[in-house]
Amino acid sequence: MLSDKMLDMLNTQLNKELYSAYLYLSMSAYSTYIGLKGFANWFMVQYQEEMFHAMKIYDYINAQGGQVKLKAIDQPPGEFESPLDMFEKTLAHEQFITRSINELVELAIAEKDHATSIFLQWFVTEQIEEEANDNEIIARLKLIGKDGNGLIMLDRELATRVFTPPKE
Ligand code: OFO
């Protein structure tokens, strides 16, 4: 059973995950537009991951007998300065999500809501991986700088990413 406050915060987190999906879908579209198909693929896989996160919260609220309430999803940015700009915005967004998950964990602990605490541990671990992926690509984009060949090679590599539903 979820407290009213926990239910509201989980519904808000569901909205944040849907916004994450929307943001990365926008980055995928922009990458396609500027001719970087590999980046477009990477962000499309990221979109799928975020939908998985959202549905995980959706299913948990339902399993706990709570009412899912869908809120409006903000419009994401549609223009970016460069691939580096997209990944720096991605990292900043993931850091925001990490803080949001941490707040949920703190509420679960304060409310002695052990079920939600255990449920959230998956997200705590997932955020480590999400930020690590972004940091790695940012570091490589900084090394590449204005080298077009380096960017094309990275684009080819990002084209190989495939979506596999994360492990439970
Ligand atoms: Fe990107 O981890 Fe969910 O939002």
Q: What pLDDT, in 10s, does the model give residues 25-65?
A: 999 999 999 999 999 999 999 999 999 999 999 999 999 99
**Ligand 1 midpoint to CA 88 (Å):** 15
DSSP secondary structure letters along the chain: ---HHHHHHHHHHHHHHHHHHHHHHHHHHHHHHTT-HHHHHHHHHHHHHHHHHHHHHHHHHHHTTPPP-PPPPPPPP---S-HHHHHHHHHHHHHHHHHHHHHHHHHHHHTT-HHHHHHHHHHHHHHHHHHHHHHHHHHHHHHHTT-HHHHHHHHHHHTT----PPP-
Q: What pLDDT, in 10s, does the model give residues 63-116?
A: 999 999 999 999 999 999 999 999 999 999 999 999 999 999 999 999 999 999
Scan for tokens 């991986």, then name that residue: 129
**Ligand 1 midpoint to CA 31 (Å):** 20
Closest CA to 99 of 124, 117, 121: 124
What is the total count of domains within the chain? 1
For the packed helices 148-158 and 37-63, what is the interaxial angle rounded to 10 degrees? 40
Residue 167 lies in a domain: no
Work out which ligand 1 atom sits closest to the CA atom of 24: 1
Residue 145 lies in a domain: yes
pLDDT of residue 99: 98
**Residue range(s) defining the domain that contains residue 108:** 4-71+79-158
d(CA 90, CA 141): 13
Residue 166 lies in a domain: no
| Phi-psi region at 70: left, alpha or beta (left = phi > 0; alpha = psi -120 to 50) | beta
Residue 12 lies in a domain: yes
pLDDT of residue 168: 67
Residue 30 lies in a domain: yes
Residue 163 lies in a domain: no
Residue 26 lies in a domain: yes
pTM: 0.96
Residue 40 lies in a domain: yes
Residue 98's identity, in one-letter code, is: T
pLDDT of residue 91: 98
Instruction: Give the CATH number, domain containing residue 99.
Output: 1.20.1260.10
Ligand 1, residues at Cβ distance < 6 Å: 17, 20, 50, 53, 94, 97, 130
Residue 115's identity, in one-letter code, is: A
Q: What pLDDT, in 10s, does the model give residues 112-135?
A: 999 999 999 999 999 999 999 999
Work out which ligand 1 atom sits closest to the CA atom of 50: 3
Is 167's pLDDT higher than 80?
Answer: no
Work out which ligand 1 atom sits closest to the CA atom of 97: 4
d(CA 151, CA 168): 34
